Amino acid sequence: MPFTEILALCMIGAFFIFLLAGIPVAVCLGVTGLVFGYVGFGPMLFSLLPARIFGVITNYTLLALPLFIFMGIMLEKSRIAEDLLEVIGLAMGGLRGGMALAIILVGVLMGAASGVVGATVVTVGLIALGPIINRGYDAGVACGVICASGTLGQIIPPSLVLILLADIMGESVGTLFAAALFPGLLLAGLFVAYVLLLGVIRPDAVPAIPAEERALYTGRDLAVKLVKVVLPPIALIVLVLGSIIGGVAAPTEAASMGALGSIVLALLAGRLSYPVLRDAVRGAFITSAMVFLILIFAQPFGLAFRGLGGERLVQDAFAVVPGGLNGQIFFLMLLLFVLGFFLEWIEISYIALPLFLPIFMQSGVDMAWIAILVAVNLQTSFLTPPFGWALFFLKGVAPPSVRTGDIYRGVIPFIGLQLVGLALVFSFPGLATWLPGAIGW
């Protein structure tokens, strides 16, 4: 094996060692890439680095990221999700598992309105976890539903994952948004079916809201609240997603409309204030800075790995995978699933994924389909212990009575459901490819 390829393997090993030592991801990327690239080729390897970094910070599509992040944080700070959960929960409270179904629907709406997982998990955890446990829900089931529904923002457009995957894979954001719509709703449908099944086989784990509590709202009052609370977010979703998928607006333009729309919703709800706006802007700046810092420091890492012959190593590894193209896709999905136990989705997207994409591009496979498979798989990285971010988010806001073991126990069935959804999208590619083809993307 050539010396440069040995350096490429050592660079990957050093990255994981630094990461496990607690060093920030961006620093791990920059240090390992610059050091090993310099050892292998000297400073000439990085002659393209300024242009690569300039390309990241001037990428017009990536400008949508901070706007969508702001949109999600504004909806969280203005307590729109709180209103949604309350009114939908009361409307479905007569069913066994009705509150859990309401949480899933709120996850769909919040995911489609913002694409920010942390905001949804934290908000729903603060609002709903204590009350539904007090109503008799099993703690594990309650935790699992909140974590899983919060991660729907990873796949339901406008997902931040899809925006980054579009940049990595050279696909349009509108194509991936259209391709992700049915798979995202499929996952939500699997979650709903699981809760309904629990209501049949374990009714004590997901009891209905008591009739006396539901009687506080008459049918007419509840209908009026549903219209007032649910209709505005749906209108925002149609405005943002419809303009992107329909080709009316670019993702960045639609994201700016969404950011403005979230401010308007907060104003209409009577909750727009300087502290709310200040916290939303500050939160969007901090999160966006973290994302872009990783994107920038991923550039020397990627240059060094390719310069040291890392891509050839990956191609050689794929060549010995049995089963042809399907075997290679299965190998990629298995690798991403395992990496999801230890890395966050953004590191997987910008470090691991670009190493394998040339293989699939050369095979002529539909890259939108591959992107949706990757997005569904990356969604599990938010749920898989021990480093699933949704688990950390929920534990941070959970009541003291909720143990970490309850959270881990609760998410296991939903990890299984997501793998079922992944298998369905793999077996039936039309779930991802039909809508983009139908609207001409």
Give the model's pLDDT for residue 119. Answer: 65
Give the model's pLDDT for residue 182. Answer: 92
Helix-helix angle 160-169:173-201, to 10 degrees: 140
17 domain-assigned? no
Give the model's pLDDT for residue 419. Answer: 92
262 domain-assigned? yes
Q: Using the structure block, give the residue that is written with the tokens 């905001």.
A: 119
CB neighbours (10 Å) of residue 162? 27
9 domain-assigned? no
Give the model's pLDDT for residue 114. Answer: 62
Give the structural domain span for 411. 61-291+323-438
26 domain-assigned? no
Overall number of domains in the chain? 1
* Sign of the CA dihedral running 246, 378, 258, 238: positive
Q: What angle do CA 253, 106, 342 make, to 5 degrees?
A: 80
Helix-helix angle 324-339:367-380, to 10 degrees: 30
19 domain-assigned? no
Measured distance CA(119)–CA(110) in Å, rounded: 9
Pick out the chain residues at pLDDT < 70.
Answer: 1, 93, 113-119, 211-219, 311, 314, 318, 342-344, 386-387, 440-441
- Segment 100-122, tens digit of pLDDT: 888 888 888 877 766 666 667 77
Give the model's pLDDT for residue 422. Answer: 93
31 domain-assigned? no
307 domain-assigned? no
363 domain-assigned? yes
Give the model's pLDDT for residue 357. Answer: 79
Measured distance CA(192)–CA(390) in Å, rounded: 19
